[in-house]
Structures are given as structure tokens and as C-alpha cells.
Amino acid sequence: MLAQAGLLDGRRVTTHWSRAAMLAERFPAADVSANELWVKDGPLYTSAGVTAGIDLTLALIEDDIGAPAALEVARGLVVFLRRPGGQAQFSVTLAAQQAKTPAIRALQAWLPEHLAEDLNVQRLADRAAMSARHFARVFRRELGDTPAAYVQRLRLEQARWMLEDGSWSIERIAALSGFSDAQLMRRALKRALGVSPGQYRSLHHAPPA
């Protein structure tokens, strides 16, 4: 209704990832972000779904009357704090399409178990039995990303899962996820989600009852 009324024209908005392409196609004047939980653009707020709406509500409470009140509401709802609006809606392994080429598809299955290793393009190409140049071209055509960017996203996904679990130190998480040091992981997480590893753990790891 908002889009049909022209209220989204020139505004940055979000919606559920499965409907983002349709919204962008039908209403090209809107700047649709497919991978954020909620978005504020001037007086307009949009969210990606029901639970993302809870995150948005907690953010509004925090802005209006402070973080303690937002935390109290979150506890009452049995949710842990709130997720920042810029956080991605879904994980790379759930969203990634399967490659058509068998060698690339096999590589997709192999990668998550070897993230702590050196995964340069030449090594990946060798495993796929292709030249580095041909491998990079096929990989990008079939998965829509460069090999390096895809590996980085897998590493971030593993780091996020381990931070949520809460059983490992940040330094150990960085090593097991394939980051050369904790500072490199911190920069990658901050760039992708807008929060540090410590902040992400606080937002997503509820202490044991």
C-alpha cells in the first residue's frame, strides 16, 4: 500500500528477502535493500518480517526512552536484546544456490569443513581441476560471487555461529574460521554487520539458565 501510494519513492526500504526483487521491479522508484532486518529513512521505518519488526520496536523504544527500558521489554518478550537493523536476513549456506558444474558443487560441500586452511584461488582451482582463470570465471557465473568473497562469507557465517554458541574465545573463533588473527575477523564482522565480535556475542548469546 505504501509503495502504491508513492510513499516509498526515493526512500531506502527493506522487505522479506523473498519479496525484495518483486518489490524493486514493481516500484523502481524505491531503493530496496534485500538484506537488512529493518531500515529507517527519515520518518519512514520498514522491516523484513515479524521478528525483524520486534527488533525495530526495541530500537524505537531504546531511542525514545533508553536502553534499560528496551532491555526490560526484550526480557519480557523472551528475546535477547535486539539485532541491529543492518544485520543480514539469512545465512550464506541457506541462500547460496547450488552450482551446476559438478566440480564447483563438490567444492561447495568441501569448503565448510576446511575454512581454517589457506583457501586461495589457485588451491580452489586445483581442487576443481581447472585453471585459476577458468575456475574464477565459472565460479562467478554460477554462484554470483568471486571465490574470495564466497569464502569470506562462509568464514563470517562460521564465526557468527561460534560467537552465538559462546563456547570459544574470540581468538580461537578467528583461527578456526580461517581469519589470520582476531583483529582481521573484527574488521570483517564490523564491515558486514556493523558490530564487533563482542557486541555480536552480547546480542545473540543468552547466558545459560
Task: Assess whether 72 and 96 both reside in one domain.
Answer: no
Mean pLDDT of the chain: 83
Burial 31-65 (b: 16+ CB within 10 A, else e): ebbbebbbbebeeebbbbbeebebbbbbbebbeee
Please tell me the distance from the alpha carbon of residue 52 to that of residue 151, in angstroms, as a whole number: 27
Higher local confidence (pLDDT), 67 or 166:
166
**pLDDT band of 92, cuts 50, 70, 90:** low
Task: Assess whether 107 and 198 both reside in one domain.
Answer: yes
For residue 209, pLDDT over 50 is answered with no
Task: Assess whether 130 and 27 both reside in one domain.
Answer: no
* pLDDT tens per residue across span 19-67: 777 888 889 999 988 767 788 888 898 888 777 788 788 888 888 887 6
Q: Are 156 and 192 in contact (CB under 8 A)?
A: yes
**pLDDT band of 94, cuts 50, 70, 90:** very low
What CATH number has the domain bearing residue 108?
1.10.10.60
Report how many domains make up the chain: 2
* pLDDT tens per residue across span 106-127: 998 899 889 999 999 999 999 9
For residue 83, pLDDT over 90 is answered with no
Residue after which a domain boundary falls, among 76, 104, 131: 76
* pLDDT tens per residue across span 169-201: 999 999 999 999 999 999 999 888 788 899 888
User: What is the domain extent for residue 134?
Assistant: 92-204
- Ordered alpha helix ranges (H), the chain: 17-26, 50-65, 67-76, 92-95, 102-110, 121-127, 132-143, 147-165, 170-177, 182-193, 197-204
The whole-number pLDDT of residue 109 equals 84
> Is 148 a domain residue?
yes
**pLDDT band of 207, cuts 50, 70, 90:** low
Share of the chain above pLDDT 70, in %: 84
Classify 199 in phi/psi space as left (phi over 0), alpha (psi -120 to 50) or beta: alpha
Look up residue 48 and give its DSSP letter.
S
The whole-number pLDDT of residue 101 equals 92
Q: What number is the average pLDDT over the span 154-170?
A: 88
For residue 208, pLDDT over 70 is answered with no
For residue 131, pLDDT over 80 is answered with yes
